[in-house]
Amino acid sequence: MDVDDEENMSSSSTDIKENRNVDNVPPKDSAGQGPGEGTLLSNGGGSSSRKRPLEEGNNGHSKFRPKKRKKMPGPVLPKNALMQLNEIKPGLQYKLLSQTGPVHAPMFVMAVEVNGQVFEGSGPTKKKAKLHAAEKALRSFVQFPNASEAHLAMGRTLSVNTDFTSDQADFPDTLFNGFETPVPSDASFYLGSNGDGSFGSGGDYGLPSSAVASSLSQSPLPPPSPYPTASGKNPVMILNELRPGLKYEFLSESGESHAKNFVMAVAVDGQTFEGSGRNKKLAKARAAQSALASLFNMQLDQTPSRQPIPSEGLQLHLPQVLADAVARLVVDKFSDLTENFTSPHARRKVLAGIVMTTGTDVKDALVISVSTGTKCINGEYMSDRGLALNDCHAEIIARRCLLKFLYTQLELYLSNKEDQQKSIFIRSEQGGFKLKENVQFHLYISTSPCGDARIFSPHEAAQEDQGDRHPNRKARGQLRTKIESGEGTIPVRSTTTIQTWDGVLQGERLLTMSCSDKIARWNVLGIQGALLSLFVEPIYFSSIILGSLYHGDHLSRAVYQRIAEIEDLPPLYTLNRPLLSGISNAEARQPGKAPNFSVNWTVGDSGLEIINATTGKDEMGRASRLCKHAFYSRWMRIHAKLSSSLRSKILKPNLYHDTKQGAAEYQTAKECLFKAFLKAGLGAWVEKPIEQDQFSLTV
C-alpha cells in the first residue's frame, strides 16, 4: 500500500495502524514524538501540506497532522545515581540521620541500607544528601573485573557477550553478593591530587587498596578504546549519565602533521581531567575515561598487555594520568626546540626524554632532557680520550643528559647557601648526598627499547592479546647487542666475549649492549653511574613510559623480571621495579629511513646539540657536551671541594678507569648484576675495550 492510497482512506486511526502493520511498518508511539511532531490541527487550519483524518475531535472537528517526517532519535535523558540504584534495588528506604548547621546553611546526613551495608551521604538539601548516599552505594558495586559486570551493577543492559546467564540476571542479589563487602581503604598506595590519599573534592573517593593491588598487576588504568565498550557505551556517555551536563574544553593541538595530538579537559567534582588523542572526539573519550578511572574506579579496557604495571614503592600519581602527562611534556618540548617540528633536525625514528616531578601534582613536572637517535658509533671512530659518544640511541642520550643535570645540581648545592635550597640534593646521614623527598624521574621513550623488550612485541597489543603465550622459551630475556652501523640487535654469544681495541680497529664489529639491557642495568646500579655514585646515593627511575609498542609482560621481563633472583647487593642498592605504562594515544610508527644524527637538550641549554651518531661527535668534529671527558672534568672540580665527604675514598684521582673502579659498592653491585644474568642463563655482559677509559685529564 503506498502513501497516497493510505492518505485517501477514510478509516479510523486504528484501522490505519492495523493496515500499516500488515506491511510490516511498526506503529509509532506518540510518546516518542519529539517537540512539534504530531501537532493537532483543526480542519481547514491554513496548512498547505496534505493531511489525513486521525479521529473525530471535540465539537465534531476532525484532527489532522502534517505528513510524517523521518523521526530523529532524541537524546536519552541521563539517570542520576538515585535512579540507577533504584533500578538495581527497588524500594530502598532513605533515613535522615542528622541535620546540623545554621538555618540558612543546613547540612543533612541521609543513610541507605543496601545488602546489609549502610551508606551515608551529606549535602545542603535532603535530596543532595540522598544522591550522595546513592553514589557511595553504587561505587561499592563498581569494582568489578570487567566492564560488562560494572555496567550491570550500574543498571545497564548487558551485551550478548556477557558471562552472566539470564536466570542470574533476574536476581540482583545473586549478582552482587560477591561484591558486597568493601575493602578497607589504604591511602599509602596512592596519593591523589589532594595529597591526602583522596581523589574527590569531598575526600571520600579513595581507591580501595586490594582492588588497586590486585587489579593493577593485571588491569589498572588502561588506555581507552576508541570504540564503544562492552556495554555499547563509550566513556563520554557513561560519565554523562553519572554526572549530567559536563562541559569539555579544548586545551591544545600539537604534534607533527602525520601524528596530530589534541588535548581536551573536563571538570568533574572539582577536579580537572585531561585526555589526548589524534582527534578531539578521541581526546574527549580519554578525558572521560580518566575521570571514570579516578573517581569511580571503572576500567573499560581489560586487554592484559596494555595495562600499566605499578611500581613497588610509593606511587605519587595515577599511572595513566602520569604517563600521558609525561609523554605530552616531552613531545611539546621537542616541538618547541624544533620550531614546531619544522627544523630539519626534527626528523627522527625514536624520541626520548626525562621528566622530573617533585610532588603529587603532575602540573609541577619539569622536562629535564629530550633526545633522538637510533644508531651507535662506528668502531674506527672510538676515542681513547673520552671525546666520542659510543651509543646515540635516544634513551641512552636522555640518561646522559640527566647525568649532566645531576652535576649541575651538585654544583648548585656547593655554590652558596642561597642556591643550596634550590638544589634537588640534600646531605645524607650516611655521607655524601641524596635526593630530596618526593623528587622522582620518569623516562619516556616513543617506542619500546631495542633488545628483549621490543623483539617479541613488534605490533601494538590487540584486544585478544592475552600477554606472552610462550614466556618460557629460551630466547626470552637473552642479553642482546646492537649492530655497528645498523639497527636491530643480536643475542650475545654463550661464552664471555672480550672486545679488544686493536681487534675493533682492524675491522671486528664493535658490540654495544641493547637499550633493554642497559635499562635493566640502571634498575640495579642506578642511573647516576659509577663516578657520581662516589658523591650520591643510587638514584632510580620511578617510571618508564612508552609511546608505542607497550606490552607489559615483555617490558617488565626485559627491565627487571629476568634478574629477579639477583643476590648479595650492597646496602642502598636494590632491584628497582618502576611503574611501567603505555600512553592513551599510542604514537604512529615513524616511516622512512632513520637519520644518521642524534639530538640532545638538557634543561638550561640554549638549544639542541646535533651529534653524528657514526662518529660520536658533532658535524665539525667537536666533542659532545655529554662525552666522558666533559663529565670527568666536572667530577674533578666537585671532587676538589668534596674530597673530605666522599661515600668512598679516592686518594688521588688520575685515570678515568681507576676512578670508576674506586666506587667500590657500585662495582660490587655490577658484579652481582652480571652474575644474575649468567645464573639465569641469559648470557654474559659484553664490555667495551678497556683502552677507552684509560685516559686522564692531563692528556
* Residues designated as active site: 395
Length of the chain: 699
Query: Residue 566: helix, strand or coil by DSSP?
Result: coil
For CA atoms 10, 15, 20, 26, give the dihedral sign: positive
The x, y and z cell numbers of residue 123, run together, are 549535602
Residue that has been written with the C-alpha cell 580518566 in this structure: 290
Distance CA 634, CA 406 (A): 11
| Contact criterion met (CB below 8 Å) for 663 and 534 | yes
Distance CA 273, CA 256 (A): 24
Gap between the terminal Cα atoms of the chain: 102
Distance CA 491, CA 325 (A): 35
Distance CA 52, CA 6 (A): 9
Distance CA 167, CA 539 (A): 56
Distance CA 517, CA 152 (A): 45
For 309-467, strand residue ranges (E) read 351-357, 366-372, 374-376, 391-393, 425-427, 433-435, 440-445
Helical packing angle, 394-415 and 515-525, nearest 10°? 30
Distance CA 77, CA 566 (A): 58
Compute the C-alpha angle 582/584/587, nearest 5°: 75
| Contact criterion met (CB below 8 Å) for 292 and 320 | no
- Bridge partners (DSSP) listed for residue 65: 52
Query: Residue 87: helix, strand or coil by DSSP?
Result: helix
Q: What is the dihedral of CA 463, 467, 470, 476, to 10 degrees?
A: 130
Give the residue ranges of DSSP H helices in 9-48: 13-22
Query: Residue 471: helix, strand or coil by DSSP?
Result: coil
- 365 contact partners, CB below 8 Å, separation of at least 6: 325, 326, 329, 355, 356, 357, 442
Distance CA 583, CA 325 (A): 9
